[in-house]
Amino acid sequence: PSCGEWNTLVEIPRGRAGEKPSWLSYSPGTSQELSKVTLEDFPRLVLDMGEANRVLGGGLVRGSLVLVGGDPGVGKSTLLLQLSAALAMNSGPVLYVSGEESSQQIKLRAERLGIVGQGLHVLAETDMAAILRHLDILSPTVAMIDSIQSVAFSDHPAGPGTLGQVRECGLALLRWAKAKGTPTFVTGHVTKEGNLAGPRALEHMVDVVLYLEGSNLGSYRLLRGEKNRFGSTNEVGVFEMRDKGLTQVLNPSEVALASRDRHAVGSVVVPVMEGTRPLLVEIQALTTPSSLPTPRRVANGVDMSRLLMVIAVLIKRAGIHLSGQDIIVNVAGGFRAMEPAVDLGMALALASSLRNTPLLDSMAALGEIGLGGELRNISQLPRRLAELKHMGFDTCLGP
């Protein structure tokens, strides 16, 4: 409807010739009492890379389809190749299919990463039907498809990367992964708007969606769970892109606080929980007198509605005159701190900036702020405090 033109609707036939519609080839399974279902033959495949395991919820689940999204060049192919090599060494043959690079190009990358590649089979192919045949022939322990936008069914009228192709290829891989019980990774490019181009439809069908982020992190990369049918989605894996590929960062708090100015105005350290792991982040606030009738509020990495609430509470309950101020609140280093526990940190950072006075540099803060101006309890206090202590903080303001 948006183009306002006639005769622009194009029909894309779905069924391929000779193929039975899926509702006719349906074979009924059997129901089972839940108490009788065993998990013995359903182990998770534990990856060599702890940071990837963490985001996956403790390893790869049989038959799961995992989508790894990210900007071009962020390191998706590198991550998949490194995972492939480790899996091939420990768990059995892996098929790495690239629709973007030739076998020689993959070899060049592998050499750079120090990967010999025993048990790691590579296939440079864009034809989805051929890929499925190879998957059946090799029957690998894990399959990797790099990327969903580069592969296509040749008998499908739409071109590679279009919504129709991405959906058909995704569905075919989903069916294959479920039928064989083989964990399968698929990469997808993200557009500038932050959507997976085409693969938005894919997000709903896959089991796990991971994003590899790195735009304002320098050489650091965050692997973030967006959806996970088998684990928490709050988990973040931290990596650094080095000359020999992605290496795990085992103490991300150090990274998050690396370039912190200890005496900066409007800066507070808050221990947030990223899934099961405490992480120290630096909340920064900047207030400047506004010339606009409606002052601006910008939230980077914090929840906008919580920021607005904290501002309102400060004005009403604490007599802090933020009304005429443009306000920017930022989590340093591209991290995110969306939980209510950062309320107090935001409030202190705002007050610090408004009064142009730094806070104690060895002090952290955490606590949820209620509308009455009260400080409320937060979860997992001991773990957060342990991380603070570990990183050398001796004071923490809290409920």
Task: List interacting residues with ligand TYD (CB under 6 A).
Answer: 70, 72-78, 109, 112-113, 241, 243-245
Cβ closest to Mg ion, residue 74 vs residue 337: 74
Nearer to ligand TYD, 166 or 350 (CB): 166
333 binds, options Mg ion, ligand TYD, none, Cβ within 5 to 8 A by partner type: none
Q: How many whole angstroms separate alpha carbon 185 and alpha carbon 147?
A: 9
Residues in a beta bridge with 284: 267, 330
User: Considering beta carbons, is residue 32 or 215 the nearer one to ligand TYD?
Assistant: 215
Q: Find which of Mg ion, ligand TYD, none residue 223 binds, CB within 5 to 8 Å per kind.
A: none
Contact 248, 226 (CB under 8 A): no
- Residue in 53, 64, 77, 253 binding Mg ion, rule: CB under 5 A: 77
Select from Mg ion, ligand TYD, none the partner in contact with residue 245, using the beta carbon and a kind-dependent cut-off of 5 to 8 Å.
ligand TYD
Binding to Mg ion in span 193-222, by CB under 5 A: none
Q: Is residue 84 a contact residue for Mg ion (CB under 5 A)?
A: no
- Residue listed under structure tokens 């490019």: 189
Angle (nearest 5°) at CA 102 between 96 and 103: 60
Least Å distance, CB 224 to ligand TYD, is 14
Q: Closest separation between CB of residue 293 and ligand TYD, Å?
A: 44
Compute, in degrees rounded to 10, the torsion defined by CA atoms 292, 295, 298, 302. 180
46-54, 74-82, 131-139, 384-392 -> range binding Mg ion (CB under 5 A): 74-82
Selection from ligand TYD, Mg ion, none that 391 binds (CB < 5 to 8 A by kind) is: none
- Region for 218 from its dihedrals, namely left if φ exceeds 0, alpha if ψ lies in -120 to 50, beta otherwise: left
Q: From the centroid of its chain, how far is CA 69?
A: 8
Q: Could you give phi then psi for residue 347, rounded to 5 degrees?
A: -60, -45
Shortest distance (Å) from residue 150 CB to ligand TYD: 11
| Nearest distance from C-beta of residue 371 to Mg ion, angstroms | 47
Q: 100 or 240, CB closer to Mg ion?
A: 100
Residue 149 sits in the site that holds Mg ion (CB under 5 A) = no
**Contact indicator for 260, 37 with CB cutoff of 8 Å:** no
Shortest distance, position 284 Cβ to ligand TYD, whole Å: 28
**CB 347, CB 369: distance < 8 Å:** yes
Do the beta carbons of residue 327 and residue 358 sit within 8 Å? no
Pull the structure tokens for residue 56.
């996956």
The Cα–Cα gap between 222 and 233 comes to: 13
**Positions that interact with Mg ion (CB under 5 A):** 77
